[in-house]
Structure 1
Amino acid sequence: MYRMVRVADEDADFQRIVWREDPAKEVQDYKLLTVTFGTAAAPYLAVKALNQVAKDHKMEFPLAADKVEREFYMDDLMSGAQTLEQGIKLYKEMSALLKKGGFLLQKWSSNNQDLITEIYRNEKQPDPNNNEDKNLEIKEDNIVKILGLTWNKSHDELQYSVKLPPLSKPITKRKIISDVARLFDPLGWIAPCVITAKVFIQRLWITGVGWDEEPSTDIIGDWLKYREELLQLTNFRLPRWLKTRMDDSLVELHGFCDASNVAYAAVVYLRIVSTSGDIHVNLIGAKTKVAPVKQVSIPRLELCGAALLAKLLAEIAEVMDIPKTQTRAWTDSTVVLAWLNKHPTRRGHCLELYSDNGTNFVGASKELRELFNLEKSTIAQEIAESLATQEPQIGDIVLIKDDDLPPAKWLFGRIDRNIQDQTTLLELQLLNAKVH
């Protein structure tokens, strides 16, 4: 991909190299005219060129242009379609779009053999994976991972491959950390296993052992046991398809957070209600962090978990294009809920989180709408009737918005009279009645 992006002539002088085929010949100067591996700007320039092609031809190839902007990771496209016809259309649009910039997609793979057959028929070349039950490895670089993620096309499942190198003695801090660094779990699907390895790193640092020294026997014993148990992860399977369809009745994100004195974590699930009423729940992603070495109270770690969940939910909702009104975050810590109910300036990273009903801390607008329908309140019916009108009238019940308070803390008021006969300036009389 890099070699398909040309560098501006005035910048090519900064990519000069010297070379000679024979020591007896004179050294010659060469200029690298394309983006070069290893330079700091190379990833940005390659991705920018790819996105610019999509932007320039978006009107001509709208489907493919959107996929380029959202579903490319460097030079790898990971996308899908609901039907075979849509898949063929995406292939043709994507190939035509990228050809405008000189980019040629290769090594197509799919769980649908009919689609693959059609692609390679158009490419006028044989399918290299024909009649092969070959899994596709998913990775970010060329480093050999101890724990890698692969896609099983025949079963359309994601699974983990474990490649444990021979263990040589002595078992040092350097070797343990080197193994931990090669655990590949980008979406946190096996976060409970990976966090154990992170805790090992913390234990090593606390002991103060040197890089090439052996840690204590109990740490080595725990590490060897953990290393052997990694092999069991090959039995882990996760369906690639989330059961989503274009006509689903409801798609929601539900996140959960928790903490202990060792670590805190957040996990997000996708809940889908189909048109037939079937409900499907799938794991989307998770994040974990080791608790600080300095002792911190459990409630504060629970708050750290809530902040971690808020970030994770926001990232996933943006990528999956799910509105905030359809996201829910859950915590069992009443102390955290009380903290989130404080003034916004004291919420830190949880600025957008609200404590509404004692169980979830996102979705205040939904809780307020439910609040209006409660029959226990003496003014609930008045509120409901007032909300049905487009323009506020004298005597209407209104909700007074306050940007410095969460919606659950906003006050209700009754419109008393117009000021100076202007309909836009109204005098409100605060209601003392509380809505429960």
Structure 2
Amino acid sequence: MGWLAPLLIRTKLFFQKLWIKNYDWDQPLKESDQKTWIELSQAATGFHKVISRKATENTAKHRLVTCADASTTTMAACTYIAHEGEQTLIMARTKLPSIKEKHTIPKMEMNAVTIAARLSLTIYEELRKAININEIVILTDSEIGLNWIKSPKEKKFRGLLVTNRINETMKIVEKLRDEGVDIQFGYIATQHNPADCATRGLTAEELKNHNWWDGPDFSRKHRREWPSETQLFTP
């Protein structure tokens, strides 16, 4: 489900670094790496969070809100289900870039938007028979990523990777539209973006009462009450 992504991302990055160092599977860690592993293990030990088993009402209309973010090391997306002022984390995903290639931040951010679109589609397809989901909003703090989505046919200066991610994202948009879902994209400031913490990590204490669990405050409200900077649009 990815709920503990902010707590575990540093461990995930540590494993990637061990891979880069070409450790054999049965090779003991160097002292510095052993120390790092112990610190990571202790930071994640003992985390406890009570999560409601019932996140929503079955018969009402619901909105999925998916937030995306990327750093130099990680891409992340997290999805919330919103209904009548309530909002709950449903699922999240993090992904590390390939160690064989170097990616710019804009490319990482576009990847994160596509991950968010995939996650939204997956959750919609899993829940649509049980819950009425009539709208999906994907939010990111990447203005260049949003501009790419606004003009999907403009290929100048984008490169193959970005073009492929835009094409995949637009196919997901079309599929959801065919299902009668209103899907929009918009901007969210970094300080309000819960996906940000999944790219940089949190301690167990920081995670307990973080907005990771219930998303941005504004997105639980009716869309006409959202900040003007969100600038929602339909691609």
TM bin (shorter chain) = 0.5 to 0.7
CA–CA separation in structure 2 for the residues paired with 1:266 and 1:323: 22
SS at match of 2:11: helix
Cα deviation, 1:236-272, whole Å, max 9, x if unaligned, reads: 22111114243x3x41110000000111100000101
Q: Is the 8 A contact 1:317 1:323 kept in 2?
A: no
**Equivalent position amino acid for 1:269 in 2:** Y
**2:138 and 2:184 in contact (8 A); partners too:** no
Supply the distance in 2 between the matched residues of 1:318 and 1:245 (Cα, whole angstroms): 15
Match of 2:49 in 1: 236
1:310 to 114, 117, 133: 117
Q: Partner of 1:204 in structure 2?
A: 18
Residue type at the aligned position of 1:332: D
Structure 1 partner of 2:105: 298
Matched, 1:333 2:142: yes
CA deviation profile, 1:206-230 (whole Å, cap 9, x unmatched): 1112222223322211111111223
Question: Do residues 265 (structure 1) and 76 (structure 2) align?
Answer: yes
Identity between Structure 1 and Structure 2 (%): 24
Match of 1:289 in 2: 95
Tell me which amino acid in the other structure corresponds to 2:135. Q
Distance, in Å, in 2 between the alignment partners of 1:269 and 1:209 is 38
Q: Match for residue 217 of structure 2?
A: none
Q: Are residue 192 (structure 1) and residue 6 (structure 2) matched? A: yes
- The answer for the alignment partner of 1:359 in structure 2 is 187
Instruction: Give the 4+ runs in structure 1 shifted more than 3 A.
Output: 322-325, 352-358
The alignment partner of 1:215 has SS state of coil
Q: Which runs of 5+ in 2 are unaligned?
A: 156-162, 175-182, 189-223, 225-232
Larger Rg: 1
Letter of the 2:106 counterpart: P
Higher relative contact order (CA 8 A, sep 6+): 2
Report what 1:254 is aligned to.
65
* Secondary structure, counterpart of 1:262 in structure 2: coil
Partner of 1:348: 167
Distance in 1, Cα, partners of 2:92 & 2:83:
19
Question: Which whole-Å deviations, capped at 9, do the CAs of 1:388-432 have from their partners, x for residues lacking one?
Answer: xxxxxxxxxxxxxxxxxx965xxxxxxxxxxxxxxxxxxxxxxxx
Distance 2:81 2:186 in 1: 22
Residues 7-406 of structure 1: matches in 2 within 5 Å? 187-233=1-47, 235-246=48-59, 248=60, 250-273=61-84, 279-293=85-99, 294-321=101-128, 325-340=134-149, 341-343=151-153, 346=163, 347-351=166-170, 352-353=172-173, 359=187
Letter matched to residue 286 of structure 1? A
**Aligned-pair CA distance for 1:325:** 4.3
TM-score norm. by structure 2 comes to 0.64
Q: What amino acid maps onto 1:200 in structure 2?
A: F
Aligned mates of 1:189, 1:325 — CA distance in 2: 24
Q: C-alpha deviations, 1:71-127, integer Å up to 9, x for none?
A: xxxxxxxxxxxxxxxxxxxxxxxxxxxxxxxxxxxxxxxxxxxxxxxxxxxxxxxxx
The 1:353/1:218 distance shift into structure 2, 3 A limit, reads farther
Measured on the aligned residues, the alpha-carbon RMSD in Å equals: 2.8
What is the alpha-carbon distance in structure 2 between the residues aligned to residue 224 and residue 327 of structure 1? 41
Distance of aligned partners of 1:236 and 1:313 in 2 relative to their CA distance in 1, 3 Å threshold = same
